[in-house]
Amino acid sequence: MVMNTILSDLNNTSTGIEASAIISADGLVIAAALPEGMDEDSVGAMSAALLSVSSRSSLELVNSALEQIVVKGKQGYILITHVCKDVILTVITQSHKELEPIISEIKHSSEKISAHLNR
């Protein structure tokens, strides 16, 4: 219930945020605040796939641990952020919104999620 509240609060911080989900590294959705018609399982699976490829790329090409993934499409962004070792936060936004305030809110929400998971 706490996780759903965190996601709901995150989605309400900006009119640009359309969806958010807390997902395990293997693609299982822990909690989600998605619009009607968006498939929870697809969001989880695609987020995990992006995480896997991006993490390996970051380690091999930049010699650094992955912090965040940003995918820009014509209609919006997908932002995937590490919350803790095996948990990520995926946020889907509209493309015409500024990302800096949204990224700041994602970081704040990630800290709340991490604190709740580490109790």
Whether the full predicted model's pTM is greater than 0.85, yes or no, is: yes
Tens digits of per-residue pLDDT, 11-61?
998 888 999 999 999 999 999 999 999 999 999 999 999 999 999 999 999
CATH classification at residue 55? 3.30.450.30
Query: How many domains is the chain partitioned into structurally?
Result: 1
Tell me if 110 sits within 8 A of 89, measured CB to CB: yes
Q: How many CB atoms lie within 10 A of CB 15?
A: 10
Reported as a single tens digit per residue, the pLDDT across 57-105 is: 999 999 988 889 999 998 899 999 999 889 999 999 987 778 889 999 9
Whole-number Cα distances in Å, 25 to 44, 74, 88: 9, 27, 7
Q: Which domain holds residue 13?
A: 2-117
51/54 Cα distance (integer angstroms): 5
* Tokens 């109790």, located at residue: 119
Pairing outcome for strands 76-84 and 87-94: antiparallel
Asked if 93 contacts 74 with a C-beta cutoff of 8 angstroms, the reply is no
